[in-house]
Chain A
Amino acid sequence: MKALVWHGTNDVRVERVPDPTILNGRDAIIEVTTTAICGSDLHLLNGFIPTMQAGDILGHEFMGEVVEVGKENTRLKVGDRVVVPFTIACGRCFFCERQLWSCCDNSNPNAWMSEELYGYTMSGLFGYSHLTGGYAGGQAQYVRVPFADVGPLKVPTTLSDEQVLFLSDIFPTGFMAAENCDIRPGDVIAVWGCGPVGQMAIRSALLLGAERVIAIDDVAERLQLAAKGGAEVINLSEQPVFDTLKTLTGGRGPDACIDAVGLEAHGATLDAYIDKMKTAAYLATDRPSALRQAIHSCRKGGIVSIPGVYGGFLDKIPFGAAFQKGLTFKMGQTHVMRYMQPLLDLIERGLIDPSFVITHRLPLDQAPAAYKTFRDKADGCIKVVLKPREVTVH
């Protein structure tokens, strides 16, 4: 089969690799019909995530058709059309039983790595470094799905691939970010980052009853899309974010702040430049300028919700502000399985169509170029979907 393979920083290629096979009884093999490039894949492209190895197959947002099932898997059958969550979970441990799917004890073959870094093991993830298990990802024609009797969600034929694909990650991730804001009547929610997760968070916050959503970014077309989704916008390259937020909220500040940027924030502030210099010199691992601003801007007693990915050590977090204001922090890898069915219901009822973020539709063969377009935010790129079945013959 063909797959998108990571070879090093800024080096991904489509190449022929062996087809996946069933390795464990609960596995299934999926023929991928549609997959996508996630903003967090750019952290891999840019070399920000440790424990990547040349030869790793990327991709954690995908869906397709079941072509083979393991002998212990009684839930799926050949021909089922499924969306696969990016988190891999056993469904039977303490954490799975409590819907904390991304904390699954048993799905990460490299649990010891995760324990070294974080004290405890986190769940396995598709195509996202060896720290999260080293599982081959779904930017490929076929993918092996472990514990496939737990994660994959069967989807109705009345909905297109593009309408349901994002149940694999960004829609649940944006929705969980909004849900974590514990939204009450009158709440104003500020969202840093208008990439795909930020866009989902904006619409989810409004669906959950937010009075207003204020979106912050510096890319014009992303701000336009946010505005189209019902947000007021702040262009951080033109307006001072904190002052503008205060003005827009009558001096109160946002009730909750969502950091949908994560570890590679590209702020224009002095602290962002220092972060960039430090990470370039390996003195820090993550660049948290969006998070700093979110903490600083949040109203007293408010919530900071973090769907943006962080992996290591953060420098100069204004913890005094967080403490003095009595902020609540909610964060983490998305517990995708908790949200898939309820969000599918929202899509079926026509309350949201997550395909609104798609700007680029390409065959898998063009994935390497698409990564660069997405990274550079060139050509109005917000979200790329890839079609592995449309592989051109060389």
Chain B
Amino acid sequence: MTSGVNVASAERWASALGGAALTAYAIKQLTDRSPAGAALAAAGTALIYRGATGHCAMYAAAGINTAHDDDDTKIALAGPRGVNVEDSFTINASPEELYVFWRNFELLPRFMNHVLEVRQLDARRSHWVAKAPAGRKAEWDAEIINEIPGELIGWRTLPGSDVVSAGSVHFTCAPGGRGTEVRVRLQYDPPAGKVGATVAWLLGHDPAHSIHEDLRRFKQLMEAGEIPTTKGQPRGRS
């Protein structure tokens, strides 16, 4: 589990617009994909990569003023920007099972504590509603920017959202019948502006911790079929 803003971490992500990890992963995946899947992955990957490098170049060249572009992931999360969180859990289920559950975005509120509702808009886009400070709600649209069935889902938020973030989830077989390694990477605008503050609030004071607990609940749900709880059990006077 890693988190926090520092140059080394940010630079690792510098080429990652909306998840450089996606790009690298997708390229790696090309070696053993079917031609159709490979073409799709390559197309998506190339687009993201071009977007990333293009904006990075622009950023470097122009010193960029993000004042009116700060909800575009290509800019807000470009270069040495954004907070990056990465975490993984091994889950005793097949990559396909886990992918299918996760890809049904409307089920995600079952283990993502801050998310109230997800509505699928079309094959690639979804609308998200989450708890926000002072009883308000934060809403955003997200789109899938890369996908390999059974292996990978990558997404980013769309301009006009209360939240600017991009992320990916990878499902890879663990060795020796140990199930599946589920690796989540999330990048979001740091809590400087309003938008970033919303994300930080959504994820709690320690975003890495929140993502860790969301992933743990995913594991509990997929393995045990339920999330253990003591809420509502009897206790004595305290």
Contact = CB atoms under 8 A, between A and B. Distances in A.
Q: Is the interface of A mostly helix, strand, loop or mixed?
A: loop
Contact of A23 (B178, B179, B213, B233): B233
B228 interface: yes
7 contacts: A20-B233, A55-B235, A72-B226, A94-B90, A97-B92, A105-B219, A112-B213
* Secondary structure call for the B interface: loop
Contact of A106 (B179, B212, B224, B235): B224
Given A92-B223, A107-B228, A55 B237 contact: yes
Interface residues of A, number: 45
A53 B235 CA distance: 10
Nearest to A115: B212
Given A106-B220, A112-B213, A25 B225 contact: yes
A3 B236 contact: yes
B238 interface: yes
A68 B77 CA distance: 52
B56 to A, nearest CB: 37
A136 interface: yes
Given A24-B228, A107-B228, A109-B228, A136 B235 contact: yes
A56 B230 CA distance: 12
A325 interface: no
A338 interface: no
B17 to A, nearest CB: 32
Given A111-B216, A136-B233, A94 B179 contact: yes
A38 interface: no
Contacts of A106: 219-220, 223-224, 228
B104 to A, nearest CB: 20
Nearest to A22: B232
A3 B157 CA distance: 51
Given A55-B238, A94-B179, A105-B223, A21 B92 contact: no
B231 interface: yes
Q: Which 7 residue pairs across A and B have the least CB separation, nearest first?
A: A5-B236, A55-B238, A90-B224, A54-B238, A106-B224, A55-B235, A55-B236
B235 A57 contact: yes
Contacts of B226: 24-26, 72
A146 B223 contact: no
Contacts of A112: 209, 212-213, 216
Contact of B224 (A23, A97, A111, A147): A147
A92 B236 contact: no
B193 interface: no
A124 B92 CA distance: 19
Interface stretch (A11-19, A193-201, A209-217): A11-19
Contacts of B224: 26, 90-93, 106-107, 147
Contacts of B228: 24, 88, 90, 106-109, 124, 133, 146-147
Contacts of B220: 90, 105-106
